[in-house]
Amino acid sequence: MSVPALEAPSIGAALRRGAARLRHAGVEAAARDARLLLAEASGQDRARLIAFPERALSARELAAYEAFLTRRARREPVSRILGRREFWSLDFAVTADTLDPRPETEVLVEAVLARLPAPGADLRILDLGCGSGCILLALLTALSGAQGLGIDSSAAAVEVARGNAGALGLERRAAFRVGDWAAGLVGTWQAIVSNPPYIKESEIEDLAPEVRGYDPHPALSGGPDGLDAYRVLLPQAVRLLAPEGLLALEFGAGQADAVQGLAEAAGLKVEDRILDLAGRERCLIATPFSRG
């Protein structure tokens, strides 16, 4: 007796089944993720998936979709499956060596842009712990007269950031180097930005599987109290900040007072503490005390 070939499911059926599978695996935004993965597997954008739910998938599209679903059901983030993440409405390549850029970090970009001089001004921006380069490159797209340097301890992350600069046409204004925060750097910078690792080491095992299993450990761990990086980079930043310059630092939930204390002890005046979209204090803006 011959076994009948399985009928290729329609887009609508594949989306429903995929979402159910992801939901069962504990994925929060299961329907959205199934849609993103099917869009990638079928080469169709979201609008077409919605407009033509009855279209049958080809065997190749179905196989690619199933493979993506299997990875997502193991809690690999969509951005890592696709190899890219949108940040500040720009596409960034992400790999196993870079933090997956978070939407909350856009608050820091916005806060810096609101405080810097006109977009064409000749500025130097330093990004400490640049990862994919998302903060620095987002700033440079908005500031046509600015140049920037991104530093990361991971050579592989620095390579990814360079690739992102090239893809965005910013390679002439953005340089990336391997380094230990700002050690050995000289010169002055009108803006220093950083989203350092700030999770307490003991809390890493409690993070969502998407984070603890896929973001690189050095991008997460801030040591026993989460503040190790701030203790090192704040005194370095003070030395490098132009008199009229500003420092923007991201931090984690409940760390605002401690990071402000470290910034003040290093010789900075905290001008502002910025909330993210969830209403949580997410970053601070500081300037040199000498500015008066």
Ligand X SMILES: C[S@@+](CC[C@H](N)C(=O)[O-])C[C@H]1O[C@@H](n2cnc3c(N)ncnc32)[C@H](O)[C@@H]1O
Stretch that binds ligand X, among 37-45, 110-118, 173-181, 239-247 (CB under 6 A): 173-181
Query: Judged by CB under 6 A, does residue 252 bind ligand X?
Result: no
- Tell me the closest approach of the beta carbon of residue 201 to ligand X, in angstroms: 13
Closer CB to ligand X, residue 37 or residue 219?
219
Tell me the closest approach of the beta carbon of residue 92 to ligand X, in angstroms.
Answer: 9
Query: Which residue of 42, 164, 195, 236 would you call a contact of ligand X, by CB under 6 A?
Result: 195
Binding of ligand X at residue 130 (CB under 6 A)? yes
Q: Which is nearer to ligand X, 66 or 104 (CB)?
A: 104
The DSSP code sequence of the chain is -PPPPPPPPBHHHHHHHHHHHHHHTT-TTHHHHHHHHHHHHHT--HHHHHH-TTPBPPHHHHHHHHHHHHHHHTT--HHHHHTEEEETTEEEE--TTS----GGGHHHHHHHHHHSS-TTS-EEEEEES-TTSHHHHHHHHH-TTEEEEEEES-HHHHHHHHHHHHHTT-TTTEEEEE-STTTT--S-EEEEEE----B-GGGGGGS-HHHHTTS-HHHHB--TTS-HHHHHHHHHHHHHEEEEEEEEEE--TT-HHHHHHHHHHTTEEEEEEEE-TTS-EEEEEEEEGGG-
Taking residues 255 to 274 in sequence order and writing x for each that binds ligand X by CB under 6 A, - otherwise, the string is --------------------
Letters for 213-242 (x = contact with ligand X by CB under 6 A, - = none) are: -----xx-----------------------
Query: Under the rule (CB under 6 A), what is the footprint of ligand X?
Result: 99, 101, 105, 129-132, 134-135, 151-154, 157, 179-181, 195-197, 218-219
